[in-house]
Structure 1
Amino acid sequence: MRSLKYLFIAFFIIFSAFPSPEATATEENTTMEVKLKNYLGNQTSVKLTATGDYRTSGGEIFIKAGEDLTLKVESAKIAVYKGSKKAGAYASFKIIPVKPDASLSINGRPYPGSFSFTVEGGYIRPINHVYIEDYLKGVVPREMPALWHAEALKAQAIAARTYALRHQSTLIDDTVSYQVYGGADGHYQTNSAIDQTTGMVIKQDDEIIEAFFSSSNGGMTESNSNVWSSGNPLAYLTIKEDSYDPKTNWAITLDKQQIDLSKKDLSNPDEWWTSVQEKDKAVVPRLKVWLNNNGYANKDIKITEIPVLTFTDKKTGGRVTKGSIQLKFYVRDLVDDRGSLLEQKINLTNVAASKIRGMVGQGVMKSYLVDHSSSNPSRIAIEGSGYGHGVGLSQFGAKNRAEAGQSYQEILAFYYPNTNIEKEYGKVGAGAKTDLDVKAAPNSINMKAKTDHEKDEVGITYSLKEDAVVSLTIKDSKGKALTNPVRDQTMKKGTHSVIWNTKAVSDGTYGAEISTMDRSGNEGSATMVIKISKDTSVPKITDVKISGNYSTEKANITYTINENSKVKVEIKNSKGKAVGTLSERQVIKGRQSATWDFKNMNNGMFTVTITAKDGSDNKKTVSTKIPIRKTTGIVTANALSIKENRNNSSETIGKLYKDQTVTILAQQDEWYKVKKGSQIGYVVKKHVKK
């Protein structure tokens, strides 16, 4: 779900053929129309397999339970085959399940609900008409990991439902342009979150809000109007700091010269074309895709230089809105009148940042929140934080808030302030409001677990805000109940604990589910994921290496880790005080790296501390020293020019004045290479005293 764009008004009548066991008369208009593109792609032939009978809108049985059909595009129509026999051809058709619990597999992926089939651009295009709660069960586990904290999953379920109902009159698709939808293949954890919040949506002034969400906001939420200039600012989508967002970091580092062709014969590229490759393997392939889609279709391209890549015009939330890029490249079959390869150039200046991000790749430039950028004669470096547009709910922020004990009401109150939750439909209380300014539901339950691998047991604690009848169930990864440490016991308000013996269970992921009922019959529930791993070995961090560059004033720290772990890389000063966190994230085993920008640090001895915690909570910390010894000098001349190159006739790029301090990066003949602020250049050595 990433876009405000509407496609076009749906054109099929929705039959009320999707009853749910919990549906009531208030659910008359709670179906969605979803065009299936994401997983299906563009196909001229698809296979259908049904788990129940499906009929046409005229009442005839189209496909029986267990039967397979093949649909093919023939003469702009959909031809239907049973085995090798053609059963008919249609411009379009619709099928409806005879029983609501049936599902239809399309190329092996099952979907609930009914279907319309048309030909779109020469391809078969199914449109799934699905009850919204079933739709959400195919959405939530693809928008948020199903094993995250239950309160985060509930917040995601309500946000996804709100977004869906806001766009209900639009024919949406199953891609990130709206919400990723995977059909009937759900997960018991997310299904539970959806069931517990059935019908709940977020409203302001009795209107369903635009419940945008993204993976990570980088520590700062964003206004919708800063991201999508066509929309008016919405009061519930504000700019503010989010201390619970993990500030997902990303970086782009590019060599300006990708290929050196100075010694190549441009009139005879057959000699060298296949043997030379660009240095960058992340951004350059995306740039080639963009070039192929913008005037150079199906062309063989070599990108030789990327002289400029910058982002500017930050909005109040710190996100950039403009960008510039320059490319120099050759196309295999574009030559001048002498048969020599003709250099091509692209120069985009102060265009929308979204255009540049689309060129370099959204997976590379993960957000518009650019924290640092620098450029020297040979390299471009850009660092940022966040993943996605940053508007509305941060999924990683919601996870951390839930793990810190916040309820889904508190989570949604932060990301959509001055709104309320209403039960739009459902079994009980349709239209009832829950003000999102409240801090917690009356029966909210806080659960925690501590695993003791040596004793083969898990200590589970939970707190009650009032007296209640309590049941606690442990389930396996498939949702099967294994044991009930607490069964229908009356408990006083306060904190309680229970021990789950894990000797008989194997390593894996389990769920603890607690349900309560107070004296008035009000029910509460909570779920928690428990990982069992009898591994007691700590992660191994080896081959730690540090390389510094006084020109960029950055140090690169690399290390090898032997298992997947959550790793934190910190820098501490000589007094042991942390002066910076370089990385704090989940990493996969193998070689890892982090970058330290030390331009604001004084000379001295610093310590790099790497702490890793594996999935079994085994922890290991290693440390190594890193000295910072910047050479400085004092300007002795009244005025001193900073030259681009070691030549008095080269371009002057800056000025220094008497008694100013500069950082000396290197000595070359009678010149010092120096840095002052962001400027790097050359000055005559005799005018600077060390």
Structure 2
Amino acid sequence: MKMYIKPLIIVIILLSLISGQALAAEYADTLRVGIYYGSGAVSSLDVKSDIGIYAGIVADREFTPVALSETGSAVIEPDTVESVPAHHVLYSSHQTPDEAFASAVTLVDAGMEVFLGYVNSAYCVLGGSYKNNNDALWAAENLAVKGTPIEVSAKAVRAVDAATKKILFVTDDSSKGLGVYSKDFENPDALLKISGSAKGTYRGGFECRRLTDTAMTVTNIVPVESYLYSVVCREMSSSWNVEALKAQAVCARNFALGRINYHKQYGFDVCRTVCCQAYSTDADQSESVHTAVDETRGILLFYEDELVQAVYSSSMGAYTESVENVWGSKFPYLVSVENPYEDTENIYNGKWTKTLTASRATEIMNSKGYNIGDVIEIKVVERTPSGGVLKLMVRGTGGEKIFERESCRSIFSEVTYSQRYTVEKGGQTIKPVVYVADGSNKTSAFTLGSVSVLSGDKSVKTVSEACSVSNGKAKKQYKTTQTSGDANTYTFSGEGWGHGVGMSQYGAKGMADSGFDFEEILTHYYTGTHLELAY
């Protein structure tokens, strides 16, 4: 494996001697991954481990174990009795979990049934679970050991041993969540199994919080490199060339570390969906994915000293798109480049043709708040230099709307899989887009009928029906076709799947299969970048 080492200067060396931890902490070593949140938050979570489960508190990314379940099965749920916040008996409060545990042992030896908690910034020894203060007060005054009745807030959470049905631990503190980890929690390969729609086996541990008074937000706290095992196997086929998998691993690492606290309203960095990066259970991993992650461990992609926002999508067609033409932002490394190794013709959603009726287009416009009457025309009014749709006009009987950049793809997303497409009414002639490079190697997009070429007899001719274009590596055929259907149907024909910015995953596969290594793949798609061994 190549080594990518950032040059060090004397000042940095001196700083590292003074505060080695400060430099090492430049990048987080763990990630907070949202599993259940928002409308998908859960009322309870079943957790299992073959070797036992620790319940405790999580502060930011650090876990403090407090209570152990040797049965290896626990349920995390709101701390309620008949749907109202529970009342408990408080026996003692302490600064450390060890002090609380020692106090609990003394009470157990005296015949009391108690459990541990973290309430109001203190480790507590608690007993009982009651619906109201009167019941808790009676227990506090009449049991063998006297205590004080307390009521937890509407956001308290508890861990219950699933086998014994006894409470293991309760948290009620706004700054800390209830954490649940394997007994071997310091082992990055330790596994936990959870229930629900995202059920499966995961590395790391879980934090459960009630951000509202009802359901729980569940976050997987996992080492960065372990997280990548579960991303790369979802974002790329494990059967692909390992150099493509390595490129994907670096992209995923860059992307994740660039999104620390991105979903801070829910208390995590990245979610488990394609909104961030598709995240899988441990069962979906493979040896090739582990190899790709392990052999690129700590390697990040930079533009000068800036961590690259290494966005990517499935396929892109002939060219990638400049980020400015999709999201409006400007990054010098996210510009349009050729994509010659992507086998667009033979991949899933590489080429696509979809139809949309005028009535359905009207429904979509109305549902999104664009009340322009019945749709009577959909037309591309401006393209990017690489051929993407930059402006799309939708005209109705009561007005028109111009969509720009990414909205040209998202407005009719059920029929447009990328920003690179043509649209024609039924029964009309489709003239495909041709990409032509001028003498300065600048590429521009034209339609057949607007391209003039110099023929073999040195005469200038306009290409109107068909032509072949070669870039020196491959040849493409373009021809005029006639659409089917009536005038109330729009046909969208395009190539590529996704936003089209950054790395084409199928393009990376093609490059790897053609002998390029992951560094060459990445520096092709992200202009002017370089790799560094950052940690």
Report if TM-score (shorter chain) is over 0.5: yes
When residues 153 and 414 of structure 1 are mapped into structure 2, their CA distance, relative to the original with a 3 A threshold, is: same
Q: 1:35 maps to what in 2?
A: 34
Correspondence list, 1:401-412, <5 A: 401-412=511-522
The Cα shift of 1:159 comes to 1.3
Correspondence list, 1:413-428, <5 A: 413-425=523-535
- Counterpart of 2:232, as a letter, is V
1:136 partnered with 2:221: no
Q: Structure 1: any 5+ residue segments left out of the alignment?
A: 1-23, 259-282, 297-303, 328-344, 426-690
SS at match of 1:360: coil
Aligned match for 2:389, one of 300, 320, 325: 320
SS at match of 2:339: coil
Aligned match for 1:250, one of 352, 356, 364: 352
1:104 partnered with 2:192: yes
Q: 2:435 maps to what in 1?
A: none
In the superposition, the TM-score normalised over structure 1's length comes to 0.46
Distance of 1:111 and 1:218 partners within structure 2: 35
The Cα shift of 1:105 comes to 1.8
- Counterpart of 1:47, as a letter, is D
1:235 partnered with 2:332: yes
Deviates more, 1:77-86 or 1:150-159: 77-86
Contact 1:215 1:386 survives alignment (8 Å): yes
Cα deviation digits, residues 88-122 of structure 1 (max 9, x gap): 65454234544223222221322211322112454
In the superposition, the TM-score normalised over structure 2's length comes to 0.58
Contact 1:201 1:422 survives alignment (8 Å): yes
Aligned match for 1:225, one of 308, 324, 329: 324
Aligned match for 2:492, one of 378, 382, 402: 382
When residues 246 and 72 of structure 1 are mapped into structure 2, their CA distance, relative to the original with a 3 A threshold, is: farther
Aligned match for 2:216, one of 102, 115, 124: 124
Distance of 1:421 and 1:68 partners within structure 2: 44
Q: 2:54 maps to what in 1?
A: 54
Aligned match for 1:152, one of 244, 268, 279: 244
1:176 partnered with 2:268: no
Q: 1:397 maps to what in 2?
A: 507
Q: Structure 2: any 5+ residue segments left out of the alignment?
A: 1-22, 58-63, 85-153, 263-268, 345-349, 428-486
Contact 1:221 1:239 survives alignment (8 Å): yes
Distance of 1:54 and 1:324 partners within structure 2: 58
Distance of 1:138 and 1:165 partners within structure 2: 15
Distance of 1:33 and 1:418 partners within structure 2: 31
Q: 1:563 maps to what in 2?
A: none
Q: Hey, which of these two has a bigger chunk of helix by percent?
A: 2
When residues 85 and 162 of structure 1 are mapped into structure 2, their CA distance, relative to the original with a 3 A threshold, is: same
When residues 346 and 59 of structure 1 are mapped into structure 2, their CA distance, relative to the original with a 3 A threshold, is: farther
1:366 partnered with 2:417: yes
Q: Hey, which of these two has a bigger chunk of strand by percent?
A: 1
Contact 1:219 1:244 survives alignment (8 Å): no
1:94 partnered with 2:179: yes
When residues 205 and 357 of structure 1 are mapped into structure 2, their CA distance, relative to the original with a 3 A threshold, is: closer
Contact 2:423 2:493 survives alignment (8 Å): yes
Distance of 2:45 and 2:395 partners within structure 1: 43
Correspondence list, 1:582-597, <5 A: none
Cα deviation digits, residues 256-293 of structure 1 (max 9, x gap): 357xxxxxxxxxxxxxxxxxxxxxxxx89xx67x8668
SS at match of 1:146: coil
When residues 293 and 28 of structure 1 are mapped into structure 2, their CA distance, relative to the original with a 3 A threshold, is: closer
Distance of 2:340 and 2:254 partners within structure 1: 25
Distance of 1:307 and 1:256 partners within structure 2: 7
Distance of 2:398 and 2:192 partners within structure 1: 48
Distance of 2:398 and 2:227 partners within structure 1: 44
Contact 1:138 1:182 survives alignment (8 Å): yes
Distance of 1:134 and 1:174 partners within structure 2: 14
Higher RCO structure, 1 or 2 (CA under 8 Å, sep 6+): 2
The Cα shift of 1:419 comes to 1.5
1:196 partnered with 2:299: no
Contact 2:311 2:501 survives alignment (8 Å): yes
Q: 2:475 maps to what in 1?
A: none
Distance of 1:295 and 1:62 partners within structure 2: 57
Give the RMSD, CA atoms, in angstroms: 3.4
Correspondence list, 1:614-625, <5 A: none
When residues 364 and 44 of structure 1 are mapped into structure 2, their CA distance, relative to the original with a 3 A threshold, is: farther
When residues 55 and 256 of structure 1 are mapped into structure 2, their CA distance, relative to the original with a 3 A threshold, is: closer
When residues 225 and 146 of structure 1 are mapped into structure 2, their CA distance, relative to the original with a 3 A threshold, is: same
Correspondence list, 1:256-655, <5 A: 256=358, 307-325=376-394, 349-352=401-404, 354-355=406-407, 357-361=409-413, 364-375=415-426, 377-425=487-535
SS at match of 2:282: coil
Contact 1:55 1:98 survives alignment (8 Å): no
- Counterpart of 1:373, as a letter, is E
